[in-house]
Amino acid sequence: MRKTFLLILAWSLCAVAFAQSNVYFTNEITAESLVRIFQALGVSPTGNVAIKISTGESAKSNYLRPEFIQNLVNETNGTIVECNTAYGGVRDATAGHLQVIEQRGFNQIAKVDIMDSEGDMEIPVSDTTWIKHDIVGSHLADYDFMINLAHFKGHARGGYGGVLKNQSIGVAAKRGKCYIHTAGESTTNIYGSNTQDSFIESMAAAAQAVHNYFKQPGKDIVYIDVMNNLSVDCDCNPLPAAPEIADIGILASTDPVALDKACLDLIFDYNPTPGNNPQPLIDRITEMHGTHIIEYAEAIGLGVTQYNLIDIDVTGVNEIIPETPDPETLRYNVFTIDGKKVLHNAKSLESLPSGVYIVNGKKQVIVR
C-alpha cells in the first residue's frame, strides 16, 4: 500500500513548521448554525459584548438581517454596534443612522449603539507605516468582548469586505475612516493621493489595532464571516449588483487573517456551473488588489494565512477539540504553485499526485 508523506515547508522551501489557525465551517446559513459556529470557537464572552455588523445603506443592500443574527444576540446578551459612514448617505450622521436602524428592525432585537455618536478616541497601532494611530468610536471603551460579524462580499474600493474590513473601516469613527482611506493624509476627506496598496495596508494596521485592543487582560474578540448574497458590491451600496454565485456557508475563527484567507480561497477555487459564475467577484477582488490585505496583515503579525478548515457539520460542536482537529472534519482547498485550482473543499488529499501544492494557504510537498 502506498504511503503519503506531507512535508510542510516554509515559503523559502526550508523544512520548518508553520503556525496554523483553526477556521470552522458550516454550509448551513441559518440563525441556529450561526450560534453553533460561534460555540465551536470555544470562547465564552464576558462583560459587555459588542456585535459589530453593517446596518446596510438601503433595504436592498445585502446586510445581515435581524432575524438571522437574533439568536446569536440572545445567546451572548450582545449589543449591536456600528459607526457612522464617512461618505454622504443615510448613515453619515447619528440621527439618520438611528432611523435606518429602526427601519431595519435591529433595535427590536437588541440594544444598538452608534459608537461614534459622542465622538471618537485614538488607540495605538503597531504598524505606523501609514497611520500613526487608529481613530475609533469613543464607545468602544464600553465593551469587553467583540464578535466581529461580517457579511463577506465584494467591495468597490477594498476589492472585498470581510472581517478585516469590518474591523478597520467598520470600527473607525468618521474621522478614522477618512484617515484610513487616505493612508494618513486626512481626517476630513476620504479621497487622498496615496496608492491603493497604502489604503489596503492602512486597513490592515487599523484592524490590528482593534484586535490588540481586545487582547488586553479581561477582553477578547472573535471573528465570523457569512458567505451569502455574494455580490461584487458592498452593503454600503444601496443598489448592489445581484450575486452571480450561490451562497457558500459561514466560517469562524479567532484569527481574522486565516478566516478571510479561507473565504478568499473558497471564492477563488469556486467551481463554475450553469448559473454560478465566480469570475465577476474574482475580477473585483483582483482589480483592487484586495488580497494584499491578507499578506500584509500576516507580515505585521495580525494572524497567519495557514489554516485548518474544520467542518462542524461532520462532527458536532461538543466533540470538537480546537487544538487538535479530527482529520475527519478537515477540508482542503488546494492550488498548484502557479495558482491553478486542484481541489475544492475536499475531504482528502489522496487523489493528488506527487508535487508541490498550496494547501489551505501553506506550501506542501506530497511524495508518494
- Alpha-carbon distance 4 to 315, whole Å? 25
Does any domain span residue 224? Answer: yes
CA 76 from chain centre, in angstroms, equals: 20
pLDDT of residue 318: 57
172: which 3 cell numbers? 473607525
Residue 251: partners with Cβ closer than 8 Å, 6 or more residues away? 23, 24, 25, 37, 224, 225, 227, 259, 262, 263
Residue 365 pLDDT > 60, yes or no?
A: yes
Q: What is the mean pLDDT of residues 177-184?
A: 97
Write out the E strands in the chain. 5-8, 21-26, 49-52, 79-82, 112-114, 120-123, 134-137, 145-151, 153-155, 159-161, 220-227, 249-253, 307-311, 330-336, 341-346, 355-359, 362-367
- Please tell me whether residues 144 and 275 are part of one structural domain: yes
Does any domain span residue 222? Answer: yes
Instruction: Supply the mean pLDDT for the chain.
Output: 90
- Alpha-carbon distance 278 to 177, whole Å? 29
Assign 251 to helix, strand or coil. strand
Report H helices in 182-278.
196-213, 256-268
Task: Answer whether 52's CB lies under 8 Å from 63's CB.
Answer: no
pLDDT of residue 287: 97
Residue 36 pLDDT > 90, yes or no?
A: yes
- Please tell me whether residues 98 and 228 are part of one structural domain: yes
Q: What digits encode the pLDDT tens for the residues 315-355?
A: 666 555 455 566 667 778 887 876 677 787 788 888 888 77
Percent of the chain with pLDDT over 70: 90
Question: 10 Å Cβ neighbour count for 285?
Answer: 20
Domain that holds residue 242: 21-305
pLDDT of residue 336: 82
Q: Which of 305, 328, 350 is the last residue before a domain boundary? A: 305
pTM: 0.84
192 vs 201, more confident:
201
Q: Which of 279, 305, 331 is the last residue before a domain boundary? A: 305
Task: Answer whether 151's CB lies under 8 Å from 230's CB.
Answer: no
E strand or H helix that includes residue 227: strand 220-227
- Alpha-carbon distance 246 to 277, whole Å? 9
Query: Highest mean pLDDT: which of 145-154, 189-198, 264-273?
Result: 145-154
Does any domain span residue 46? Answer: yes
- Please tell me whether residues 249 and 360 are part of one structural domain: no
- Alpha-carbon distance 280 to 330, whole Å? 29
Q: Which of 305, 328, 360 is the last residue before a domain boundary? A: 305
Q: What is the mean pLDDT of residues 68-91?
A: 96
5-14, 41-50, 212-221, range with the lowest pLDDT: 5-14
Percent of the chain with pLDDT over 90: 77
Q: How confident is the model at residue 13 (pLDDT cuts 50, 70, 90)?
A: very low
Domain count, the chain: 2
- Alpha-carbon distance 179 to 196, whole Å? 14
Does any domain span residue 311? Answer: no
Task: Provide the b/e sequence for 50-73 (b: ≥16 CB within 10 Å).
Answer: bbbbbbbbbeebbbbebebbbbbb
Does any domain span residue 1? Answer: yes
Q: Residue 96 belongs to a domain with what CATH number?
A: 3.40.50.11440
Q: How confident is the model at residue 357 (pLDDT cuts 50, 70, 90)?
A: confident
- Please tell me whether residues 275 and 357 are part of one structural domain: no
- Alpha-carbon distance 88 to 333, whole Å? 40
For cell 469587553, name the residue.
Answer: 144
pLDDT of residue 335: 79
Does any domain span residue 312? Answer: no
- Please tell me whether residues 43 and 27 are part of one structural domain: yes
- Please tell me whether residues 151 and 8 are part of one structural domain: no
Does any domain span residue 61? Answer: yes
100: which 3 cell numbers? 435606518
pLDDT of residue 328: 66
- Please tell me whether residues 59 and 170 are part of one structural domain: yes
Q: What is the mean pLDDT of residues 218-238?
A: 96
- Alpha-carbon distance 354 to 367, whole Å? 5
pLDDT of residue 16: 34
212: which 3 cell numbers? 490588540
45-59, 156-170, 344-358, range with the lowest pLDDT: 344-358
pLDDT of residue 355: 79
- Please tell me whether residues 263 and 328 are part of one structural domain: no
220-229, 316-325, 351-360, range with the lowest pLDDT: 316-325
- Please tell me whether residues 190 and 200 are part of one structural domain: yes
pLDDT of residue 134: 98
Q: What is the mean pLDDT of residues 151-176?
A: 97
State how far the alpha carbon of 192 is from the alpha carbons of 120, 179, 180, 201, 203, in Å.
21, 9, 10, 14, 14
Does any domain span residue 351? Answer: yes
- Please tell me whether residues 13 and 88 are part of one structural domain: no
- Please tell me whether residues 71 and 130 are part of one structural domain: yes
- Please tell me whether residues 277 and 214 are part of one structural domain: yes
